A and B are shown apart, each in its own frame.
Chain A
């Protein structure tokens, strides 16, 4: 338990008759980047609110860095930075003044505050915009200012709700790079709620998939793909024209084949070895079947995610 910064056991949150979070058992290791995935209404934001002590669980146990969010919310907020999906700043104040206000609310001594702000602005690359009024900031700049805002308090845990939503690819990459760097250099634990799967896949050490308030899958991408796709080393995708059923039957009997599934004009073949040559021979030996494409498919988080929701 000491290794975990967030621990929940049988955590439940109900709004009237609707269960937003249902019997959640979650453990997030210190120093990792954890991605929380799920469609809208899956319960991600409710978990974040409970972690920050901004809403009370209906039942169950929750601990953040060893503190109880309901009894000790200030202790948690002192070490936790939160960047909401739609971050707002005082638009008529400049970047420095906004961070100064956050610093004051965090009780950072005046003599340390200015240098702390400069350091945070430098980390996010806004040091030249410190005196710029926030209403003239682009969305990407505001998001970067948001990261600086959470860094002011030297957090152990940072929670990001859709950190790259609505940003162009370049800015999104910069933000992800900053997150990765902070994780490595400052050992900050990140919990990222997002539905941008490719971005989450790139930086998260572990991923939790939420649906209807339940954690339906958890692990790193490899563990998740193994649990869904049977742990095959290779997934070969074959596109053909002709009698696909006949082709599937022919491939199933080949040595090393673990699974064959049919989707419209494609076959998805699970194997432990790269036997593309054998597959190619088997298909071309058939009459009325033309092989148009064959490639080894990598499992992306998106495949895993879609598969989960297909099953759900």
Chain B
């Protein structure tokens, strides 16, 4: 445990003094503040058109005509933060010839990967939670409406989901840093996977759904089938799972559309009321578990590969 803490402290101090940390922090803060500006401009209209009473959450979900909401920005930046803190965690130690020296010290090999992993999660938690809290603070000051207890709970769960999602991307890029020797290759591979999940899965899902169950002159059964295929494929993407879970959590009144296939007649017959926190949690639980499971799987593979790897100095 002592060795994990020593490595953890060193990694943490490395992260905080690194340029990549400052650049990421600056980038996230700028986009966060931009999105809160947009939200504040549009929040009155959004609040009036909404049927729920959770006005404070609109700070995070309201978008402008041109700029998207903070939620969208975050779904875009969290993978980048995760990748940046993981892609060179092990191979940079190998390339700088530090790993052989480190492994000859009286520490268990897993202390290295565990220490780095924990330091990455801590740094990511600080970045994500600080920007969310800053936005909440500014919002509180500007709109003058304090958050209800339910809203506070939703924001806390939102932060936890963001950290789990970032941990998945960090674990994945850490895996590449274990199996690939070059840092450039590991970052490129991680970014390629992120682009695939973030952009291409949606296109592929629509294409497959339309091929299997075409919407042209489709019956209601075909439309539902199309929707289910599309949703099923999209749910293979951690990015979609994340968006789905935070949308259900932060936009409880509009979440029904995510939950099951609906038709226009369904909507007209629905009495749309916001989901309670408990109901929202029940709905997002599978998505959260899936994201955590993916993070654990990636980290477990990195861990096993790293433990089994033979490290030579040459």
Please list the residues of chain A having a beta carbon within 8 angstroms of any beta carbon in chain B.
45, 49, 52, 54-55, 74-75, 77-78, 80-91, 101-102, 104-107, 146, 149, 153, 161
Contact = CB atoms under 8 A, between A and B. Distances in A.
Given A52-B104, A54-B103, A104 B97 contact: no
Contacts of B6: 101, 104-105
Nearest to B17: A92
Contact of B105 (A49, A83, A88, A106): A106
Contacts of A102: 101, 105
B96 interface: yes
A88 B104 contact: no
13 contacts: A45-B314, A49-B312, A54-B103, A55-B310, A84-B101, A84-B313, A85-B314, A87-B313, A88-B100, A105-B102, A105-B106, A149-B101, A153-B106
B2 interface: yes
Contacts of A82: 100-101, 104
Given A102-B101, A105-B7, A105-B102, 13 more contacts: A52-B103, A52-B104, A54-B311, A80-B104, A84-B314, A85-B314, A88-B100, A90-B96, A90-B98, A101-B6, A105-B107, A106-B106, A149-B101
Interface in B200-248: none
A52 B10 CA distance: 24
Residue with the highest number of chain B CB atoms closer than 10 Å, among A77, A102, A104: A104
A186 B96 CA distance: 31
A86 B107 contact: no
B108 interface: yes
B20 to A, nearest CB: 13
A188 to B, nearest CB: 15
Interface in B72-123: 96-108
A86 B97 contact: yes
B3 interface: yes
Contact of A89 (B98, B104, B108, B310): B98
A54 B101 CA distance: 12
Interface of B: 2-3, 6-7, 10, 96-108, 310-314
Contacts of A78: 106
Contacts of B100: 82, 84, 87-88
A82 B102 CA distance: 10
A85 B2 contact: no
Given A54-B311, A107-B2, A88 B97 contact: yes
Contacts of A161: 313
Contacts of A101: 6, 10
A101 B103 CA distance: 13
A74 B106 contact: yes
Residue with the highest number of chain A CB atoms closer than 10 Å, among B3, B100, B105: B105
Nearest to B112: A105
A149 B105 CA distance: 10
A255 B103 CA distance: 61
B104 A91 contact: no
B311 A87 contact: no
Nearest to B94: A88
A88 B98 contact: yes
Nearest to B2: A107
Contact of A105 (B105, B310, B313): B105
Given A90-B98, A105-B6, A77 B106 contact: yes
Contacts of A85: 313-314
A49 B10 CA distance: 26
Contacts of A52: 103-104
Contacts of A105: 3, 6-7, 102, 105-107
Given A82-B100, A91-B96, A107-B2, A49 B310 contact: yes
A171 B313 CA distance: 22
A107 B106 contact: yes
Contacts of B310: 49, 54-55
Q: Which 8 A-B pairs have the closest CB atoms?
A: A88-B97, A84-B313, A82-B104, A77-B106, A88-B98, A105-B105, A84-B100, A88-B96
Nearest to A101: B10
Contacts of B313: 45, 84-87, 161
Contacts of B105: 77, 102, 105-106
Nearest to A142: B97
A146 B102 CA distance: 12
A86 to B, nearest CB: 5
A187 B10 CA distance: 33
